Amino acid sequence: MDENNPRARRRWSRRAMLAGAGGAAAGALTVGAGWWAAGDDAATSTAMLPTADRLGHALLWTTLGTMSGPTGSSARAQPANLLHDGEHAIVVDAGDGMVDQLVKADVALTSVQTVVLSHLHIDHTAGLLGLVGRRLQQFISTPLMVFGPPGTAQEIERIQGSLQGLVELMSTGGRRLPPPSFGITVQEITDGATVTLGPVRLTAATNSHYGFAPGTPEATRFQSLSYRFDMPDRAIVFTGDTGPCPNVERLARGADLLVSEIDDPDAALEQVEATRPDLPAAAIPALREHFDSQHLSATNVGLLARAAGVGAVVLTHNPLDDARIAAARPQIAANFAGPVAVANDLDNW
Ligand SMILES: [Zn+2]
Ligand SMILES: [Zn+2]
């Protein structure tokens, strides 16, 4: 492996993982992500956590795509993550282009056994068509379990339905038919559900991203979930998309790592006003409310991290440019004194 090639350094393989933290192959997983802690200046903001600690984990968390959607970015892919140990590969959210991000991470489609979806906004699901379709066209029918909130089964059924023409094409000339299920099983989960996935215990918690009042039909039908991944050596909590939410604080309590979304409501509104002059002025307060209560500002990321008592924070689902990130840093640090890092695509944690 070329140690000077950043992409090569991010790659993983079963061989590399089995080599252990002390092996040269595992050492090659080092990433250049910049950690910072309260009080550090930018010049000293790297490697605030010991590299060996991160690389010695039983499973690595890879931020496959770190942009907030659905807006595109030339620098960041749409939201997607991977939790893996070379044997188990769990995709967590499947933004557009997720399959190609797996390719860049050197992860074969056949090794993905599980997909976990936080919610069904398109920036978290558009990659499912690529995953299901490419499995189909490559005759991959190894078992794939998809977990997600209510509506996930219908989402997968509709994707499979959209591929029916391809199924019929592939079935011509006496070729073997792909299985009707494409090898895929769906399990819808909701608040408090726990699932054992090999060495990982998954726990779901509803969050405030959709903003429906509790007890309403909409709050039952449309649910956005945050997840906790308890593993032999650490716990990672993934916020998905959420606003401030006591249920997420409870889920994250004592976690080693909080993988959190971040937003900048002021910047988001400025962008809307600059790029969407067609929107009526009356729409702006509702948008402000959305950005404030259904996503996490830097201040609210810090408050969540402190309330939950997590060990460290990784920021993703991130639309902030460098200047906005620099401004966000003290806002997080005002409430959370632990290490914080900004994830880039294909970083390992
Ligand atoms: Zn999103
Ligand atoms: Zn969303």
* C-alpha of residue 42 to centroid of ligand 2, in Å: 30
Share of the chain above pLDDT 70, in %: 84
Residue 27 pLDDT greater than 70, yes or no? no
The pLDDT tens digits of the residues spanning 123-162 come to: 999 999 999 999 999 989 899 999 999 999 999 999 999 9
Q: For residue 198, is it within any domain?
A: yes
**Could you tell me which residues come within 8 angstroms of residue 247 by beta carbon, excluding any fewer than 6 positions away?**
191, 205, 206, 207, 208, 226
Q: For residue 242, is it within any domain?
A: yes
Cα 179 to Cα 201: distance, rounded to the nearest angstrom: 29
Q: For residue 76, is it within any domain?
A: yes
Q: For residue 54, is it within any domain?
A: yes
Q: For residue 110, what is the DSSP state? A: G
Q: For residue 17, is it within any domain?
A: no
Q: What's the CATH number where 257 sits?
A: 3.60.15.10
Residue 14 pLDDT greater than 70, yes or no? no
Q: Which domain holds residue 278?
A: 33-348
Q: Check residue 55 and give its pLDDT.
A: 60
* C-alpha of residue 14 to centroid of ligand 1, in Å: 31
Q: For residue 49, is it within any domain?
A: yes
The pLDDT tens digits of the residues spanning 253-283 come to: 999 999 999 999 988 888 888 888 898 988 8
* C-alpha of residue 45 to centroid of ligand 1, in Å: 27
Q: For residue 155, is it within any domain?
A: yes
The pLDDT tens digits of the residues spanning 226-236 come to: 999 999 999 99
Q: How confident is the model at residue 251 (pLDDT cuts 50, 70, 90)?
A: very high
Q: In this structure, which amino acid lies at residue 152?
A: T
* C-alpha of residue 121 to centroid of ligand 2, in Å: 5
* C-alpha of residue 287 to centroid of ligand 1, in Å: 15
Dihedral angle, C-alpha 12, 14, 19, 21, nearest 10 °: 50
Residue 111 pLDDT greater than 50, yes or no? yes
* C-alpha of residue 44 to centroid of ligand 1, in Å: 31
The pLDDT tens digits of the residues spanning 178-203 come to: 777 889 999 999 999 999 999 999 99
Q: Check residue 270 and give its pLDDT.
A: 87
> From residue 344, how far is each of 183, 319, 335 by CA, in Å?
32, 12, 23
Mean pLDDT confidence for 306-324: 96
Cα 105 to Cα 349: distance, rounded to the nearest angstrom: 13
User: Of 304, 186, 290, which is closest to residue 237 (Cα–Cα)?
Assistant: 304
* C-alpha of residue 122 to centroid of ligand 2, in Å: 8
Domain count along the chain: 1
The answer to whether the CB of 94 falls within 8 A of the CB of 112 is: no
Helix 152-162 vs helix 127-137: crossing angle, to nearest 10? 50
Q: Could you tell me how many residues make up the chain?
A: 349
Q: For residue 11, is it within any domain?
A: no
Mean pLDDT confidence for 319-347: 95
